[in-house]
Amino acid sequence: MKFKAMTALAALAISAPMLFAGGADDDTLTIDGQEMITKTAAPAHMAETGIDTIMSGWHFREDDTQAMQMDTFDNPGMIAVDQATDAWNTVEGTAEKSCASCHEGPESMGGVRAVYPKWNAEAGEMRTLAMQINNCRTEQMGAEPYKYEKAEMTAMEALISVQSRGMPVNVAIDGPAAEYYEKGKEIYYTRYGQLELSCANCHEDNYGNYIRADHLSQGQINGFPTYRLKNAGLVQTHNRFRGCIRDTRAETFAVGSPEFVALEVYVASRGNGLSVEGPSVRQ
């Protein structure tokens, strides 16, 4: 009994460091002079989480990493954007079309990243941006799909994300999206692996705290794809999910799996209101 009472005390002790460990910093993120929304009121559906302010992962990074994201020329992820711009205009497949044949310039993609994953009523399918890109390739162009996590796909996502930079994430969770939201939420709170840790244990209960050398963020995905200095390359949302689950000594889900699509719907919706930042820069 004595020790069970201690639990409550210990729990208080855990949340306390969050207040003085500094958590997120108070810097302002501008990219090429345009100010981003990196902290804002949590969306209504997060009321039960106890988080009242949602924050971009940018606030939890070191100053030099932060700085790299503030200027297009310093952001190593922008190289992929240039490469994808070439791909955008390249004719491929049996229909002899390029993205540009149907969509004109990449700027026509403004607002797209902000609302994905998105329900496609015609197909009766929840689509991530990667799934939509591949759908265009196979159905409209008669071209081979990109592999889900290959460089070409990630680059194309980066190009499309840049067109929505600064716009608030606004992923729908009602109607047909509701079941994906619920399934994703269940995954978010499941304590996987031999370490028995859920996404929430690290990114909800402990954001702002250090876990060894890593400063835990809220695990938001508004900055994806993300250029990771550690990998010297762009990584997608599902790669990050997989890495985080692997680190709990668990069997992960596959990139592009129905589980990760649902998790992406849920995690994206926890960022509703934050600016699209992709491609962001992380350590």
Q: 192, 188, 186: which is closest to 203 by C-alpha?
A: 188
What gap in Å lies between CA 15 and CA 241, rounded to an integer? 24
203 counts as binding ligand HEC under rule CB under 6 A: yes
β-pairing, 39-41 with 53-55?
antiparallel
Interface segment toward ligand HEC; rule CB under 6 A; list 88-96, 160-168, 169-177, 243-251 = 243-251
| Binder of ligand HEC out of 234, 241, 256, 268 (CB under 6 A) | 241
What gap in Å lies between CA 225 and CA 240, rounded to an integer? 10
What gap in Å lies between CA 234 and CA 80, rounded to an integer? 8
What gap in Å lies between CA 279 and CA 264, rounded to an integer? 17
Q: Is 130 helix (H, G, I), strand (E, B) or coil?
A: helix
Where does residue 87 rank: exposed (0-12), middle (13-18), buried (19+ CB within 10 A)? middle
Interface segment toward another protein; rule CB under 8 A; list 53-61, 114-122, 130-138, 249-257 = 249-257
Residues 6+ apart with CB under 8 A from 77: 158, 225, 226, 227, 234, 278, 279, 280, 281
Min dist CB 250 to another protein, Å, is 5
211 counts as binding another protein under rule CB under 8 A: yes
Min dist CB 45 to ligand HEC, Å, is 16
What gap in Å lies between CA 283 and CA 270, rounded to an integer? 22
Min dist CB 194 to another protein, Å, is 5
7 counts as binding another protein under rule CB under 8 A: yes
| Binder of ligand HEC out of 78, 173, 199, 262 (CB under 6 A) | 199
Cross-strand pairs, 216:
none
* Count of residues in contact with another protein, rule CB under 8 A: 36
Site string for ligand HEC, 245-274 (x = CB under 6 A): x-xx--------------x---x-------
Catalytic residues, which ones? 244
73 counts as binding another protein under rule CB under 8 A: no
282 counts as binding ligand HEC under rule CB under 6 A: yes
What gap in Å lies between CA 202 and CA 14, rounded to an integer? 12
Which spans of this chain sit near ligand HEC (rule: CB under 6 A)?
Answer: 7, 10-11, 14, 57, 60, 197, 199, 201-203, 211, 214, 216-217, 219-221, 223, 226, 240-241, 244-245, 247-248, 263, 267, 282
Which spans of this chain sit near another protein (rule: CB under 8 A)?
Answer: 1-4, 6-7, 10, 13-14, 17, 21, 190-197, 201, 205-206, 209-213, 242, 245-252
